């Protein structure tokens, strides 16, 4: 079975991270294993210059795994598309909530605040838009939620993606 992925999209400073910070605990309290993904631009480095794992990568390792008693982190060369990467690395999660990835053909929940410097939402015409979280007057033809309707958004995800 393919891992389910929902993207949380919106323009910069729209509240995507805040929504995820509130939504993840609601779903984990219900017993679900949640994977999260944040889009990063090429050239990002997880490890600090001079650390052993950084030195391993600079020496030419294609993958570096950092392991502690309770955590694991990997930096690995991988040319697969975004969706395949999410599914292959987070295959054991009940659902993956990905911040960003607005151009991917994945279910999208858009966050749009009326206080935003941006004049209009990103995905009003996107066939993959499944829900809209806002305090504005925009009302696309998908379920609408307020910025603080976290319990209801969790219910929506559970009903439509986790309890099928």
The domain spans of the chain are 4-41+78-162
Rounded alpha-carbon distances, angstroms, from residue 9 to 6, 18, 31, 63, 98: 9, 12, 25, 29, 8
Three-state DSSP at 46 gives coil
The CA distance from 141 to 122, in Å, is 14
Strand 63-67, strand 72-76: pairing: antiparallel
Give the pLDDT band of residue 68 (cuts 50, 70, 90).
Answer: confident
Q: Which two tokens stand for residue 34?
A: 């949640």
pTM of the model: 0.88
Q: Check residues 7 and 55 and name the one with the higher pLDDT.
A: 7
- Asked if residue 42 has pLDDT above 80, the reply is no
The pLDDT > 90 percentage for the chain reads: 67
Q: Give the residues across from 38 on adjacent strands.
A: 99
pLDDT band at residue 58 under the 50/70/90 scheme = confident
Structure tokens at 41: 């631009």
Contact of 138 with 124, CB cutoff 8 Å: yes
CATH annotation of 4-41+78-162: 3.40.50.300
| DSSP string for 94-131 | SEEEEE--TTSSS-EEEEE-TTSSSSS-S-TT-TTEEE
């Amino acid at each position: 079975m393919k891992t389910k992925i929902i993207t949380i999209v919106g323009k910069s400073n729209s509240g995507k991270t805040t929504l995820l910070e509130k939504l993840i605990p609601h779903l984990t309290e219900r017993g679900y294993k949640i994977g999260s993904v944040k889009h990063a631009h090429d050239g990002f480095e997880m490890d600090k210059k001079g650390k052993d794992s950084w030195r391993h990568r600079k020496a030419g390792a294609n993958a570096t795994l950092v392991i502690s008693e309770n955590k694991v982190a990997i930096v690995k060369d991988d040319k697969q598309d975004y969706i395949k990467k999410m599914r292959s690395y987070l295959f054991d999660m009940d659902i993956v909530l990905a911040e960003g990835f607005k151009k991917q053909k994945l279910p999208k929940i858009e966050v749009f605040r009326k206080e935003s410097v941006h004049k209009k939402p990103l995905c009003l015409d996107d066939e993959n838009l499944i829900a809209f979280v806002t305090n504005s007057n925009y009302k696309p033809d998908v379920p609408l939620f307020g910025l603080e309707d976290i319990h209801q958004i969790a219910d929506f995800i559970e009903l439509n993606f986790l309890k099928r």
